[in-house]
């Protein structure tokens, strides 16, 4: 089998190890999944990958069987033709395999599951990073590393229960955009996160207690007439999903400045689920999809500023019977604001417990939602 070039094993979910001598397949260019076995004569360990010029995507399972020295020999992530790497542990356990992890520039996508280390190595050249159930991770960056991700477009942080800060020493970094190209950001169940990058005024207890987004940086945004200064830590962000942020209060932490705040100049989709303390929304002029689940009735007061751009609206608010405060309604008269003279582009709308949406003084739905299909 020395001429074998492609070996597809990613759907062999019951595979417990790889056969010994796999490193002799020197013509192998594609190996979708390598299951690391307990070192011994009956299976291959990760060192067998050392001389294989693998490309495309590779998943390493049962990473708990990899010791640091073997990982270094195997050059995990340093193969010039490798584009996507998945590292998966069976469960969270002590590991330092990724402490000094420095993948080659050609690697674009990194997915890590159940890693038991306290921090990562250099991940600055990734296009996509997904960290899931890395429950002992305390911070992402060590001192002396670059704090900007010039290529990153997708970032997922999920079930990082001990994730407290972004770098080893929690201090303000130089004024530069850390995520200049980030388009999708997903943060869920990060138990002890206390701050986002560039956030000296941010107070967070955990992802469930997020209070404010970071102080924005100055950027120039072209408009139809001229240029204006706006503040945005995420100038390219298009999709933002926040879930289970029990104390998230507001979107910006900057007050008393003459510079206009626009945290999300290109945001197209915003999903806010189970964030019970959020009562307003940040400015996002290009927002077209808005999903709010288990939100307060007060959120209804802020939805109106997006109706002129939304095509999809899912609004499920808490039961009005559980609240005693006065409720809000979309009661802006059509002739009081130029945007209300336009017809809403909404084609899909789902409302739950929005008791005041069509209440007294609200917009006439048949005159305004003329494009509604569902």
Please answer whether residues 230 and 261 qualify as being in contact, where contact means their C-beta atoms are separated by less than 8 angstroms: yes
* Calpha distance 226→89 (Å, rounded): 52
Question: 281 with 270: CB under 8 angstroms?
Answer: yes
SS3 helix, strand, coil % of the chain, rounded to 5?
Answer: 10, 25, 65
Range of the domain at 356: 288-374
334 within some domain: yes
Pair 152, 128: CB distance under 8 Å: yes
Q: Is residue 297 part of a domain?
A: yes
Q: How many CB atoms lie within 10 A of CB 86?
A: 19
Q: pLDDT, tens digit, for every residue of 172-194?
A: 444 567 788 999 999 888 766 65
pTM listed for this prediction: 0.78
- SS3 label, residue 219: strand
pLDDT of residue 37 exceeding 60, the answer is: yes
User: How are beta strands 6-7 and 30-31 bridged, if at all?
Assistant: parallel
- What total of structural domains would you count in the chain? 1
| Cα gap 167→125, rounded to integer Å | 17
Q: Does 91 or 144 have the greater pLDDT score?
A: 91
User: Does some domain include residue 137?
Assistant: no
CA angle, residues 227, 232, 233, in degrees to nearest 5: 145
For residue 330, tell me if it sits in a domain. yes
Each residue's pLDDT tens digit, 208-262: 545 555 544 444 444 444 444 445 667 899 998 988 766 666 665 444 344 445 6
Has residue 95 been placed in a domain? no
Does residue 344 sit in helix, strand or coil? coil
Number of neighbouring beta carbons within 10 Å of residue 78? 14
Q: Quick check: is 373 in a domain?
A: yes
Is position 254 within any domain? no
Top pLDDT among 334 and 175 is at 175
> 153 lies in a domain?
no
The tokens for 242 are 């926040």
């Amino acid at each position: 089998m020395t001429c074998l070039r492609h070996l597809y094993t990613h759907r062999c979910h019951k595979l417990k190890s790889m056969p010994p001598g796999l490193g002799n397949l020197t013509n192998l260019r594609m190996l979708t999944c390598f299951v690391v076995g307990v070192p011994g004569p009956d299976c291959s360990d990760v060192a067998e990958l050392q001389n294989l010029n693998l490309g495309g995507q590779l998943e390493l399972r049962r990473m708990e069987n990899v010791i640091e020295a073997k990982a270094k020999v195997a050059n995990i992530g340093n193969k010039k033709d490798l584009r996507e790497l998945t590292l998966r542990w069976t469960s969270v356990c002590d590991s330092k395999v990724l402490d000094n992890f420095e993948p080659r520039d050609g690697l674009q996508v990194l997915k890590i599951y159940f890693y038991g280390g306290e921090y990562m190595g250099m991940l600055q050249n990734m296009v996509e990073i997904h960290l899931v159930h890395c429950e002992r991770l305390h911070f992402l960056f060590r001192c002396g590393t670059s704090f900007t991700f010039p290529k990153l477009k997708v970032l997922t942080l999920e079930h990082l229960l001990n994730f407290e800060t972004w770098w080893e020493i929690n201090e303000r970094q130089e004024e530069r955009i850390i995520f200049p190209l980030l388009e999708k950001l997903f943060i869920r169940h990060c138990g002890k996160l206390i701050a986002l990058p560039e956030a000296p005024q941010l107070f967070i207890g955990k992802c469930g207690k997020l209070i404010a987004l970071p102080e924005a940086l100055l950027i120039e945004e072209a408009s139809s007439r001229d240029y204006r200064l706006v503040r945005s830590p995420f100038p390219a962000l298009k999709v933002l999903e926040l879930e289970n942020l029990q104390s998230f209060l507001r979107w910006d932490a900057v007050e008393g400045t003459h510079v206009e705040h626009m945290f999300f100049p290109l945001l197209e989709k915003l999903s806010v689920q189970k964030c019970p303390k959020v009562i307003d929304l940040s400015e996002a002029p290009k927002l077209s999809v808005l999903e709010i689940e288990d939100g307060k009735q007060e959120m209804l007061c802020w939805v109106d500023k997006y109706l002129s751009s939304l095509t999809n609206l899912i609004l499920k608010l808490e039961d009005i019977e559980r609240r005693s405060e006065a409720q809000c309604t979309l009661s802006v008269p059509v002739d009081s604001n130029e945007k209300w003279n336009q017809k809403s582009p909404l084609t899909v709308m789902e409302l739950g417990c929005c008791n005041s949406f069509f209440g007294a003084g609200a917009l006439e739905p048949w005159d305004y939602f003329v494009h509604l299909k569902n």
